[in-house]
Amino acid sequence: MNLFWQRFKRNRLAVTGGIMVLALFFAGALAPVVSPFNPNDIDRKHILEPPGISHPLGTDDLGRDVLSRMLYGSRISLSVGFIAVGIATVIGVIIGAVSGYYGRWTDRIIMRVIDIMLSIPTFFLILAVIAFVGPSIWNIMIIIGLTSWMGVARLVRAEFLSLKEREFVLAAKALGASNMRIIFKHIMINSMAPVFVSAVLGVASAILVESALSFLGLGVQPPTPSWGNILTLGKDNIEIAWWLSVFPGLAILITVLVYNLVGEGLRDALDPRLWGSKG
């Protein structure tokens, strides 16, 4: 663990990304405290007001404060990212573990299912499912999670194929350990490093998908604020209210970027094969 932290701290971009991730987390968690206005308060005297002292990021077409709406919207985006990735990670780890450990026909069937899932464009699959079940924050979290587990499953499968032939696994079998004990206590603990990296990168992807769905009107529904539906207002008023597009767009860009920086930093710190090639 000490070696991991030493290597992670050497990557200044990853450390900067981690600090910004924490800042985003606290901004969302403390939104009711730090927001200057209620995000749904309508003020007809300040409709489409540009950024200024009273409204640092301007107002929208109903006079609502954009800064307050973005702070509350960060809670939605981060919630979708973490919960969707949590669902995808749990499913992927279990399926990948079963596939890699048992092999043979079990592995062949699971891998063909994964190949079929990967052949379907994920975003269009999400759109199709939402068209049937309806847009809501919980539906989005569950659907993104149920359509994003394949990459994790393949990572875990590859780790299990390698680790199940190691001496410590053979010793556990010789001592009479059950398959479940070997999978969850011996192999899985040693195969989680790439899963952590994949999960961090997956949060960025889930936030991007949620923002795209909200932008199209199929995600979080107004008046609940999210970065995607603020961008939709920006599209409708692009010629007279540039701030409605620029600020939520920057928020999405920065959030996705910092999660990718942290993910790359974790990959470098957790992968011993890279230790000799980097300082």
Domains of the chain: 2-29+64-274 (1.10.3720.10)
**98 touches 110 (CB < 8 A):** yes
* Residue 181, pLDDT score: 85
Q: Which residues contact 141 (CB under 8 A, 6 or more apart)?
A: 79, 80, 83, 84, 87
Token digits for 167?
């001496």
| Count of other CB atoms within 10 angstroms of residue 205 | 21
Mean pLDDT per 10-residue section of the chain, whose length is 279 residues: 75 89 90 89 88 91 91 88 92 92 89 90 83 83 89 90 83 82 82 86 89 85 86 84 91 92 84 52
* Residue 89, pLDDT score: 93
* Residue 184, pLDDT score: 82
